Amino acid sequence: MKILLPRGRAEAVLVNTAGGITGGDRLAVRIEAGRDEALTVTTQAAERVYRSAGGAGQVENELTLGQGARLDWLPQETILYEGSSLARRLGVRMAAGATLLALESLVFGRAAHGETLRHLSLRDQWRIWRDQRLIHAEAVRLDAMPASDATLSGIGASATLVLVAAGAEDACETARALVPEGAVAGVTALPGMLVARFLAPGSQALRAALIPMIRHFRAGPPPRVWQL
């Protein structure tokens, strides 16, 4: 892996020089935003998870935010191929006065190739600590995608967006109003936190639903590489 630092922007662009992930790969990223610093982290392109010949690709992302820091974790989509295997974990430790905007998106198969996922292995975990207290934990496990609504049948893409900030819960109705008409999304709020989840038929529809919310809570557009 390598990292690009565009001039004139507090932005880090992660690049997987292998071009994707397959069984047996191990990737680890650790990002720290110090006291009162602001940083956006994204990826150069969508991540591809190829068919595995054995074992899962392992991805560990660790974020640390100091007092008064802001970190926007906005990678582009992760595309799961038929037969892929991925175990991914996002861990965040943040000071009480820090702000986090975190997004993870999944695309199920390659629509341009007419691929429909039937067999895959996905283990996806989030853990967010604020002031040394666990405030958000979730886990997704998929071992197949049969024809069932409970296993995302007919869904081509999904995303989770989490905002952790002072007063985030007050923006719940605003966030719901930002969801485009026809999009499938849900927004919930807890003290100091907002969680939005999206389902879409494909990656383009997913982005169309995500961008208004990202633009609002960033007070600006998504990272420039999203538009390349």
pLDDT tens digits, one per residue of 181-195: 888 999 999 999 999
SS3 state of residue 6: coil
Q: What is the pTM of this model?
A: 0.93
DSSP letters spanning 145-182:
--S-GGGTTT--EEEEEEEESTTGGGGHHHHHHHSPTT
Spatial contact of 224 and 213, defined as CB atoms under 8 Å apart:
no
Output the pLDDT for position 60.
Answer: 98
Spatial contact of 49 and 79, defined as CB atoms under 8 Å apart:
yes
Amino acid at 68: G
Q: Quick one: 135 exposed, middle or buried, by C-beta within 10 A (0-12, 13-18, 19+)? A: middle
Spans in the chain with pLDDT lower than 50: none
Chain length of the chain: 228
pLDDT tens digits, one per residue of 105-151: 999 887 666 667 778 899 999 999 999 999 999 999 988 765 555 55
Tokens for 146? 């049969």
Output b/e per residue, 105-131; b: 16+ Cβ within 10 A: bbbbbbbeeeeebeebbbbbebbbebe
Q: Sketch the domain layout of the chain as residue ranges.
A: 2-158
